[in-house]
Amino acid sequence: MQDHVTPRRVVILGGGFAGLFAARALRKSPVAVSVVDRRAHHLFQPLLYVALRQPSWRRPCPG
């Protein structure tokens, strides 16, 4: 009998809300979780309206 069992790997495609919540739901499961996304960041879409309304957020970054 093996002492150490390699955990199963779960690959979640997409780091949007569904992907992040799936990863969170699995955080206590005995699996290794990988989230794959074409972007290196999460786009918080509900905040887009707020960002567009805030003039100070539309300024280009200095430098």
Ligand X SMILES: Cc1cc2nc3c(=O)[nH]c(=O)nc-3n(C[C@H](O)[C@H](O)[C@H](O)COP(=O)(O)OP(=O)(O)OC[C@H]3O[C@@H](n4cnc5c(N)ncnc54)[C@H](O)[C@@H]3O)c2cc1C
Task: Note the residues at the interface with ligand X (CB under 6 A).
Answer: 14-19, 37-39, 45-46, 48
**Smallest separation, CB 5 to ligand X (Å):** 30
Q: Which is nearer to ligand X, 4 or 9 (CB)?
A: 9
Q: Is 55 left (phi over 0), alpha (psi -120 to 50) or beta?
A: alpha
Chain-centroid distance of CA 60 in Å reads: 26
Cα distance between residue 18 and residue 38, in whole Å? 15
**Smallest separation, CB 12 to ligand X (Å):** 10
Q: Which is nearer to ligand X, 6 or 45 (CB)?
A: 45
